[in-house]
Amino acid sequence: MLEWAEAGDGPRLLLLINHDDAKREYAYSMDEDLTGETPDESSQPFIDVAEEKGWVVASMKDDWEYVYPFEQADR
Protein backbone atom coordinates (compact mmCIF):
# COMPACT_ATOMS: atom_id res chain seq x y z
CA MET A 1 0.00 0.00 0.00
CA LEU A 2 2.83 2.44 0.81
CA GLU A 3 4.53 1.66 -2.50
CA TRP A 4 1.27 2.46 -4.29
CA ALA A 5 1.00 5.78 -2.43
CA GLU A 6 4.65 6.55 -3.15
CA ALA A 7 4.09 6.08 -6.88
CA GLY A 8 1.28 8.66 -6.98
CA ASP A 9 1.46 12.31 -7.90
CA GLY A 10 1.19 15.24 -5.52
CA PRO A 11 1.73 15.53 -1.79
CA ARG A 12 1.53 12.37 0.29
CA LEU A 13 2.66 11.02 3.64
CA LEU A 14 4.35 7.63 3.68
CA LEU A 15 3.96 6.52 7.28
CA LEU A 16 4.44 3.11 8.85
CA ILE A 17 3.05 2.79 12.38
CA ASN A 18 4.88 0.26 14.52
CA HIS A 19 2.41 -1.19 17.07
CA ASP A 20 5.12 -1.91 19.63
CA ASP A 21 3.56 -0.71 22.88
CA ALA A 22 2.16 -3.79 24.61
CA LYS A 23 1.58 -1.82 27.82
CA ARG A 24 -0.88 0.72 26.34
CA GLU A 25 -2.03 -0.95 23.13
CA TYR A 26 -1.95 -4.37 21.48
CA ALA A 27 1.59 -4.97 20.23
CA TYR A 28 1.03 -7.17 17.19
CA SER A 29 4.74 -7.76 16.72
CA MET A 30 5.00 -9.15 20.26
CA ASP A 31 2.46 -11.97 19.75
CA GLU A 32 4.43 -15.11 18.94
CA ASP A 33 1.22 -17.16 18.68
CA LEU A 34 -0.17 -14.81 16.02
CA THR A 35 2.94 -14.69 13.82
CA GLY A 36 4.80 -17.89 14.64
CA GLU A 37 7.93 -15.77 15.02
CA THR A 38 9.70 -14.41 18.05
CA PRO A 39 8.86 -10.86 19.22
CA ASP A 40 9.83 -8.11 16.77
CA GLU A 41 10.87 -10.53 14.00
CA SER A 42 7.51 -10.20 12.28
CA SER A 43 7.56 -6.40 11.96
CA GLN A 44 11.29 -5.79 11.48
CA PRO A 45 11.34 -6.51 7.70
CA PHE A 46 8.65 -3.85 7.19
CA ILE A 47 10.56 -1.34 9.32
CA ASP A 48 13.79 -2.06 7.41
CA VAL A 49 12.11 -1.43 4.04
CA ALA A 50 10.46 1.76 5.31
CA GLU A 51 13.78 3.11 6.58
CA GLU A 52 15.56 2.17 3.31
CA LYS A 53 12.93 4.04 1.31
CA GLY A 54 12.94 7.09 3.59
CA TRP A 55 9.39 6.58 4.86
CA VAL A 56 8.40 7.80 8.31
CA VAL A 57 8.35 5.04 10.94
CA ALA A 58 6.33 5.98 14.03
CA SER A 59 6.68 3.88 17.16
CA MET A 60 3.58 3.76 19.35
CA LYS A 61 5.86 3.17 22.34
CA ASP A 62 8.40 5.94 21.64
CA ASP A 63 6.50 8.53 19.57
CA TRP A 64 3.03 8.63 21.15
CA GLU A 65 2.64 10.50 24.41
CA TYR A 66 -0.96 9.24 24.60
CA VAL A 67 -2.53 6.35 22.73
CA TYR A 68 -6.04 6.91 24.08
CA PRO A 69 -7.59 10.16 25.38
CA PHE A 70 -8.32 8.71 28.83
CA GLU A 71 -4.56 8.36 29.40
CA GLN A 72 -4.27 12.12 29.75
CA ALA A 73 -6.18 11.94 33.03
CA ASP A 74 -3.76 9.29 34.31
CA ARG A 75 -0.71 11.55 34.00
Q: What angle do CA 21, 59, 72 make, to 5 degrees?
A: 65
Best CA proximity match to 17, nearest among 52, 53, 61, 54: 61
Cα separation, 40 vs 43, whole angstroms: 6
pTM of the full structure: 0.68
Task: Give the list of residues 6+ apart from residue 21 with CB closer than 8 angstroms, or none.
Answer: 27, 59, 60, 61, 64, 67
Cα separation, 66 vs 60, whole angstroms: 9
Average pLDDT over residues 22-51: 72
Average pLDDT over residues 32-43: 60
What is the percent of the chain with per-residue pLDDT over 90, rounded to a whole number? 29
Q: Give me the pLDDT at residue 55, please.
A: 94
What is the pLDDT confidence band of residue 60, given thresholds at 50, 70 and 90?
A: confident
